[in-house]
Amino acid sequence: MNKNYLIGVDLGGTTTKIGFFTRDGILVRKYEIPTRTSSGGEMIIEDICESIELTLRGLGIAKNEVIGVGIGVPGAVKNEAYVEPCVNLNAWGGFDAASAFSKELGFPVKVGNDANVAALGEMWKGGGEGSKNLLFVTLGTGVGAGIIVDGKLLCGTHGAAGEIGHMKVNPHETETCGCGKNGCLEQYVSATGLVNSCHKLLSGSNVRTSLHNLREITCEAVFCAAKDGDDVAKQLLEKWGKVFGMALANVSSVYDPEIIVVGGGVSKAGNVVIKLAEKYFVSYAFPASEKTRFALACLGNDAGIYGGAKLALELAN
């Protein structure tokens, strides 16, 4: 029998998204289950495997029609199998998760870091479709990134490839980043970073700006104010674009991707995000790389399950 189905899993700290796909990447079914992180996440594997088996029966898909499962996890992964203990999963990890899932399910499994797996999704069916050399950056609470070279995820020796959120952009920073060091990219260009920069600017200034009137500062609000012509918001975003664009130019000097796909909360502001980043990217990039393309991510929260399915597709050969 031909194997025609792929399963993508996006294992998050609160919910786990599961998607069933045809081999061509058509989404057959998707849903979420809660992630039970209690007791070091001891129920995680069982919950996911039971859910997958139940859904396969419901869809009338026999187990031997499934090529495999690809799973994105919120932590470092080695050899597409071994998961380091994950902070957001109550330290779940420290073992070969691919083998553990595979033993339970009876078909092959590959595991990857969630940002990396999402990058695969955006390459396969999202903003980077058609490209095999891609940088996917998510600007949310932090800055995550996935690096794809020749269609394959780059994981790194210590599972730390794509940790561009922790590139140092300001050695004089006194505030500490989540990683324990100072002056990381994500302290300035993540959604949280942009909001922080805004708070700092407002607290120390008497300039007239509509941002003073907001009940709560959010990324969307800053982008809206800039669109409405607020000079302070505009300056804030230019500074943001400069830091982000320069960092992307530096990433590009390392591995020279074809396209940079930007996702996450900040990217909801739309094309203006891309335009700002690209403007400064071009001014700082090595000349040969100036024409690197930019695109918005377009799979949203589904990037993880699409990427998981793409990871599983590698099991087909």
Summarize as ranges the residues that interact with a second copy (CB under 8 A). Answer: 76, 133, 147, 149, 154-164, 166-168, 171, 179-181, 242, 246, 249-258, 283-284, 286-289, 291-292
How is residue 85 annotated by DSSP?
P
* Helical spans, DSSP H, in the chain: 38-41, 44-59, 97-105, 114-125, 186-189, 191-203, 219-227, 231-255, 271-284, 303-313
Could you tell me the smallest distance in angstroms from the CB atom of residue 144 to a second copy?
12
Could you tell me the smallest distance in angstroms from the CB atom of residue 152 to a second copy?
9
Question: By the 8 A CB rule, do 52 and 69 touch?
Answer: yes
- C-beta of 68 vs 257, nearer to a second copy: 257
- C-beta of 8 vs 264, nearer to a second copy: 264
Could you tell me the smallest distance in angstroms from the CB atom of residue 167 to a second copy?
4
- C-beta of 4 vs 289, nearer to a second copy: 289
Question: By the 8 A CB rule, do 89 and 35 touch?
Answer: yes
Could you tell me the smallest distance in angstroms from the CB atom of residue 311 to a second copy?
17
- C-beta of 47 vs 314, nearer to a second copy: 314
User: What's the one-letter identity of residue 274?
Assistant: I
Q: Supply angle C-alpha 151, 281, 131, rounded to 5.
A: 20
Q: CA-to-CA distance for 32 and 174, rounded, in angstroms?
A: 40
- C-beta of 92 vs 223, nearer to a second copy: 92
Could you tell me the smallest distance in angstroms from the CB atom of residue 214 to a second copy?
30
Question: By the 8 A CB rule, do 73 and 35 touch?
Answer: no
Closest CA to 45 of 95, 4, 117: 95
Q: CA-to-CA distance for 26 and 45, rounded, in angstroms?
A: 25
- C-beta of 38 vs 176, nearer to a second copy: 176
Could you tell me the smallest distance in angstroms from the CB atom of residue 17 to a second copy?
26
